[in-house]
Chain A
Amino acid sequence: MSKKVAIIGTGMTKSGTSPVSSWLLFADAAMEAVNEAGIELKDIQALHIGNTYSAFSESQTNISPLVLSALGITNNIACTRYEAACCSSSLAFRQGYLNILSGRYELLLAGGTERLRAIPGSAVQEAMATSMDQSERNAGLTFGAYWALVAKAYACKYGLSDERLQELLAEISVKNHYHGSFNKRAHFQKQVTRDDVLNSDVVSPPIKLLDCCPFSDGAAALVLASEDVAKNCKNPIWIEGSGQASGSFHIAEIEDMSTNPAIVRAANEAYKQAKLGPEDIDIAELHDCVNIHEVLQLEAAGFSEKGTGIYSAAERKTYFDGELPVSLSGGLKTRGHPVGATGAYQLCELSRQLRGDWDGKNATKNAEIGMAVNVGGTGTVVTAHILSKN
Chain B
Amino acid sequence: MNQESGQVTSVECFKCNDCENVTLSPKKLCPKCGSKAVEKTTSEGKGKVVNFATVFFPPDNYKGREPYTSVLIQLSNGCKLFGVIEGEVKDINLGSPVKVSKYDENTGGFIFELV
A: residues with CB less than 8 A from B are 122, 125-126, 129, 133-142, 144-146, 148-149, 152-153, 156, 201-205, 250-253, 257
Interfacial chain B residues near A146, Cβ < 8 Å? 53
The answer on a CB contact under 8 Å between B82 and A252 is: yes
User: Is B31 in the interface zone, CB < 8 Å from A?
Assistant: yes
User: Is B109 in the interface zone, CB < 8 Å from A?
Assistant: yes
For B23, B52, B62, B109, the residue with the greatest tally of chain A CB atoms inside 10 Å of its CB is B109
The answer on a CB contact under 8 Å between B56 and A202 is: yes
Interfacial chain B residues near A156, Cβ < 8 Å? 94
- Given A126-B59, A129-B59, A253-B23, answer yes or no on A139-B81 (Cβ-Cβ < 8 Å): yes
Tell me if A's interface is mostly helix, strand, loop or mixed. Answer: helix
Chosen A-B contacts, 11 in total, with CB atoms closer than 8 Å, are A126-B59, A135-B109, A138-B108, A139-B83, A142-B58, A142-B59, A144-B55, A148-B53, A156-B94, A205-B54, A252-B82
Instruction: List the 8 closest pairs (A to B, CB-CB), nearest first.
Output: A139-B82, A148-B53, A138-B108, A139-B109, A138-B109, A145-B53, A252-B80, A140-B70
Task: Report the interface size for chain B: residues with CB under 8 A from the other chain.
Answer: 30
How long is the Cα–Cα vector from A125 to B51 in the complex, in angstroms?
23
Tally A-B pairs: CB < 8 A: 94
How long is the Cα–Cα vector from A334 to B25 in the complex, in angstroms?
37
How long is the Cα–Cα vector from A156 to B68 in the complex, in angstroms?
22
Closest to B83 in A: A139
The answer on a CB contact under 8 Å between A135 and B25 is: yes
B: residues with CB less than 8 A from A are 23-25, 31, 51-62, 68, 70, 72, 80-84, 94, 104, 107-110
4 additional A-B pairs beyond A139-B84, A140-B62, A145-B55, beta carbons within 8 Å, are A137-B59, A139-B81, A148-B54, A152-B53
- Given A153-B51, A253-B80, answer yes or no on A142-B57 (Cβ-Cβ < 8 Å): yes
The answer on a CB contact under 8 Å between B83 and A204 is: no
Determine how close the nearest CB of chain B comes to the CB of A19; give it in whole angstroms.
Answer: 26
How long is the Cα–Cα vector from A152 to B71 in the complex, in angstroms?
13
Interfacial chain B residues near A202, Cβ < 8 Å? 56
Contact of A138 among B23, B58, B80, B107 (CB under 8 A): B107
How long is the Cα–Cα vector from A257 to B50 in the complex, in angstroms?
11
Interfacial chain B residues near A122, Cβ < 8 Å? 59-60
Interfacial chain A residues near B70, Cβ < 8 Å? 139-142, 145
The answer on a CB contact under 8 Å between B82 and A140 is: yes
How long is the Cα–Cα vector from A282 to B70 in the complex, in angstroms?
40
Determine how close the nearest CB of chain A comes to the CB of B56; give it in whole angstroms.
Answer: 5
How long is the Cα–Cα vector from A203 to B53 in the complex, in angstroms?
10
The answer on a CB contact under 8 Å between A204 and B61 is: no
Interfacial chain B residues near A204, Cβ < 8 Å? 53-57
Interfacial chain A residues near B81, Cβ < 8 Å? 139, 252
